[in-house]
Structures are given as structure tokens and as C-alpha cells.
Amino acid sequence: MCDVNVYILKDGAEELYFENVDTIKPEQGKIYLKNLFGEQKVLEGNIKEIALLKHRIVLEKK
Amino acid sequence: MCDVNVYILKDGAEELYFENVDTIKPEQGKIYLKNLFGEQKVLEGNIKEIALLKHRIVLEKK
């Protein structure tokens, strides 16, 4: 499976935010996330790093 | 394997830009990409959509 876990960078540390994420859409300063089970989350922030072999995406909160 | 192909949105159509991508880092308006073989590309633009189950990431050129 090609799913990833999404972490948020907070005070220099990474915090797990959302697991098994399938789609990510940045739009007007917000990031829309959907996981394999159809659950959704929205966050104000930016994508900081995507590392697919490590199954991780790091976001930075605004 | 969890690698994706990166497409660029151009005049409403998607063009294949880089295959087997592992890492993506947006930084100061540029997007730094690296594939499974260590090859690198840099593009001025934004991430428009990430769809991991479809193994695709779409970028938008500035």
C-alpha cells in the first residue's frame, strides 16, 4: 500500500497528526487531507517535506 | 513500493515530469524533487495535488 502518516512540526518536534493518508490538496493556505477510510481533516499550514519511502509527510502549521 | 510519478499542470493538461519520486521539499517558491535513483530536479511552482493510491503528484508551474 502507498499510504503515509502525516506529522506536524511543532516547536521543533514532530507530532503524529493523521494516519493512512491518501490524498492531500493545498488550497489557499489550507491543506485538505483524506485518509484511506474517507476521513477528512483540514489544517492551516504548508507542506514542509514529503518522504514516500519513509511513508511520511511533514506539515508546518501557520 | 511507495513511489509516485510527478506531473505538471500545463494549459489544463498534465504532463509527466519525473518518475519514481521519493522525496519532495517545497522551499521558498521552489520544489526540490529526488527520485529512487538519487536523481534530482528543481522546479519553480506549487504542489497542487497528492494522490498516493494513484501514485501521482501534480505540480503547478509558476
Give the tens place of pLDDT for each residue, A2-52.
679 999 998 889 999 999 999 999 999 999 999 999 999 999 999 999 999
Residue A56, all three cell numbers: 511520511
Report chain A residues whose CB lies below 8 A from the CB of B49: 23-25
Give the tens place of pLDDT for each residue, B43-56.
999 999 999 999 99
Could you give phi then psi for residue A21, rounded to 5 degrees?
-80, 135
Write down the ipTM of this complex. Answer: 0.90
Give the tens place of pLDDT for each residue, B2-16.
679 999 998 889 999
Torsion sign, CA atoms A58, B54, B7, A52:
positive
What would the 3-class secondary structure string for chain A be?
CCCEEEEEEECCEEEEEEEEEEEEEEECCEEEEEECCCCEEEEEEEEEEEECCCCEEEEEEC
Option in A1, A21, A50 nearest B23 (CB): A50
